[in-house]
Amino acid sequence: MNKIKSKKIINIAIWTVGILIILAGAAVAGVHMYVANSLPKIEGEVDLAILDADVKVTRDGTGVPHIVAQSDADLYKAQGYVQAQDRLFQMDLSRRQASGRLAEVIGENAVSTDKFFRTFSLRHAAEQSWNEYDDEAKQILQWYAEGVNAFIDEVKGTSKLSYEFKLLGYEPEPWTPVDSLTIGKFMAYDLGGNWNMLAFRHWALQNYTEEQMAELMTQYPDNAKSIIEANLNNPVDVAGAFNVELLPNEFNGSNNWVVSGDLTASGKPLLADDPHLGLNTPSIWYQMHLQSPEQNVSGVIFAGIPGIILGHNESIAWGVTNVGPDVQDLYIETPNPDNPTQFKYDGKWEDAIVRAEPIKVKGGKTIDFEVVETRHGPIISELVFKKEKPTAVFSMQWTALQPTRELRAIIGFNKATNWEEFETALNDFRAPAQNFVFASTDGTIAYKANGDIPIRKKGDGQLPVPGDSSEYGWEGFIPYDELPTVINPESGYIATANNQIIGEEYPYHITKFWAQPYRYERIVEMIESVKESIGTVDEETDKVYEGFTRAEMKAMQIDKKNLYAAEFLPGFLETIKANDQEGKYTDIIALMEEWELYDNRDDAQPLIWHFLIEEIKETIFKEHMPADVYEMMPGKYQIMDEMLRKAYAGNEGVWIKQAGGLDQVVYGSFERAIADLKAKYGTSITKWQWGSYHKILFKHPLAGASDFIASYVNPATMGSGGSRVTVMAAATDANGNINHGASWRFVADLNNLNYAEHIVGPGQSGHFKSKWYDNQVSRWVYGRYHRTYINGEIDPAYDLILKAQ
């Protein structure tokens, strides 16, 4: 009897579990069906009353929309509608973050982020910029906003609204032209910052000797005694005062190069560009093709902005890298102890502007917040805590906080047919400063370092300066016609990779802190190698090599040779061998000596190299400063590199000495790196692989909410080659996740601009149920491009007709 009861109980339990599994499966299936219902319509017809005539939207096999309209008005309206179809949540989150309005939909956890971006005044600057635009640009922004709002009106209050809004429990507000401009200002923030360098150096002056400071700066300002004294005598709180998680990535940069027809098989120029930005889901870029009777242009744009910022039309192609100039200055302001909104200037108390910026908080009370703005810019040093009566605070002057007209430049790019027209348009692209490379079908190749770069009354942008004196400040910008420019050089090519772009003879200050030179040097090395091969005969085929084709340009973009290791590894190995008295590391030394210096994902050597160089960096710096100050310190690699060069030349500096001397720094770091690797990957070095650690992660902004959500919204990770110093740029977070690198790869052949070749990882769509959500992840890893045509040849094609009413 008991056995029968037991069997019944077991059967009931089994059935119960089974029913729960079925119900859970049904619930999951229901969720999937619900989420899938918000996929955008990409075929058939949609009524769109805002249009004057029908517009055809064809998505190709990679999900790239080709919009063909009978007027620019309808083109920009359709662009807004289509972008919103694929990326509305991303667009809304972007405008909220840049405007300091995330807490409204996320809650208290976003308050510090909102305070940060309210203080940095991006939306305020966008509002000022709106007033500077001409009627044509304002009209384009309004047309675009009409298109976005047409889609919002269509899906609001229905299951067609993207699932992310449902998860967070809110609906999007109408889009405005200023929203687009605010997103543009956010990109200037992401690409144009050096304030943290100044804040770090201010802190360092308080805490380090002059000898230590001299090594931390590429050029110690010996002739700036008054500036140094102002920093020493007026300390501003830095440690613990800033949210370092909101700092732009230190490695925001890019590669671009252009070669003339003299070096190509076709006799026409070739151009390549790959901007290095955060790698997220969805991509920061949205690829599109826009066609009307007035333009036919293809490329990428930030979701939330009209036009095409990078790409090509039927006559020209262009791309950018970050110049990285000093365009942010910190001023040490002296507040009135009796009135915290007054600051000393030339012996008098001057009233600051105070802007009320109340922050609404989901599920909480509205927080009263104020932004205080001096004549130089907003006070930025009181974000985390506020002293009752601080004796000194930082204000920030920044080129992007002026009214600027970048959209005016984009309109010009899209319709330009030659260098003269393109350079005229460039005059409106002021922030962020960018290295533009250009090629046209008439054979011209050209370059310009473009943007507003300040001319200072005193100082050279290396340290904060006194804010209480009219002796400091800006007296204008480098004249447009005197910005670095190259047209049709004798070398036959132009390349930039955030490297130093000027010589000692250049009369203006841009920066003293350029990126490490290794990507640029490798690009030049490869171009020169091709130049030397032109005219040679292949012994197997008897064919004469005629020069660059698209294939060489694409291969260069995913090149993984590590010139950083080429410079330092020989010295490191000599040090390691000299200190490895017991022969503990003979096998690893031999392995490293065999390395051909490519950061290939299946090899152990790049794993060992990168763990070693990180350990050396931390050994020299990390223990000697607070954790947040360490994160604020930019250029750690460049500074360390120079210290190591001098040490190997027989001149150990104070930082190397205090870490135990060169031998201890290198050998001790090596021992710790190997111990760490063995703990992570086992003692068999034959099984170590760079790709086991170095994995691409296109993270979704909602992934942090839970592992369950992350499992749906994050594309699968993949091991990848490359690194932060290779042309195939792939920088990681502390866990080895590649979160920064080539956000878009682009190659254009001016012999045939009917198409160009692209990679936009992880994919075009922002909807995880779309087949174009993460279909370019493996393409990103392996360098597999897709072609995007601007004159027909779209197969397969998904046609959607936007019907005018």
Residues annotated as catalytic are 254
Alpha carbon of 593 to those of 564, 569, 604, 663, 789: distances in Å? 15, 9, 12, 19, 46
Cα within 13 Å of Cα(170), Cβ side: 17
| C-alpha to C-alpha distance for 184 and 123, rounded to whole angstroms | 10
Structure tokens at 38: 């918000």
Cα within 13 Å of Cα(583), Cβ side: 0
State the DSSP code for 665: I
- Residues 41/53, Cβ–Cβ less than 8 Å: no
* Nearest in space to 288 (alpha carbons), one of 102, 565, 87, 116: 87
Structure tokens at 154: 């269509």
| C-alpha to C-alpha distance for 518 and 609, rounded to whole angstroms | 15
State the DSSP code for 539: T
User: Is 442 labelled as part of a ligand binding site?
Assistant: no
* Nearest in space to 177 (alpha carbons), one of 208, 131, 233, 212: 131
| C-alpha to C-alpha distance for 74 and 295, rounded to whole angstroms | 13
Alpha carbon of 494 to those of 101, 259, 489, 522: distances in Å? 42, 7, 8, 13
* Nearest in space to 202 (alpha carbons), one of 291, 329, 77: 329
First and final CA of the chain: distance in angstroms? 77
* Nearest in space to 160 (alpha carbons), one of 46, 34, 49: 34
State the DSSP code for 545: P
| C-alpha to C-alpha distance for 599 and 522, rounded to whole angstroms | 13
Q: Which residues, at least 6 apart from 83, have a Cβ–Cβ distance to it below 8 Å? A: 91, 147, 148, 286, 288, 303, 304
Strand pairing of 745-749 and 737-742? Answer: unpaired
Q: Is cis: bond before 762, omega within 30 of 0? A: yes
Alpha carbon of 564 to those of 234, 561, 599, 641: distances in Å? 39, 9, 11, 9
| C-alpha to C-alpha distance for 518 and 251, rounded to whole angstroms | 13
> What DSSP string runs through 469-524?
-TTSSEEEE--GGGS-EEES-TTSEEEESS-----TT--S---S-PPPSHHHHHHH
- Residues 287/64, Cβ–Cβ less than 8 Å: yes
> Which amino acid, residue 355?
R
User: Is 273 labelled as part of a ligand binding site?
Assistant: no
173 C-beta neighbours (distance < 10 Å), count: 15
SS3 216: helix
Q: Which residues, at least 6 apart from 245, have a Cβ–Cβ distance to it below 8 Å? A: none
Positive or negative, the CA dihedral 627, 215, 435, 519 is negative
* Nearest in space to 654 (alpha carbons), one of 617, 620, 612, 618: 620
581 C-beta neighbours (distance < 10 Å), count: 7
| C-alpha to C-alpha distance for 668 and 775, rounded to whole angstroms | 43
| C-alpha to C-alpha distance for 337 and 491, rounded to whole angstroms | 61
Q: Most distant CA pair in the chain: distance in Å? A: 101
String of b and e for 427-437 (b: at least 16 CB within 10 Å)?
A: bbbbbbbbbbb
Which residues does the annotation place in the binding site?
A: 326, 329
Q: Binding site for Ca(2+): what residues are annotated?
A: 326, 329
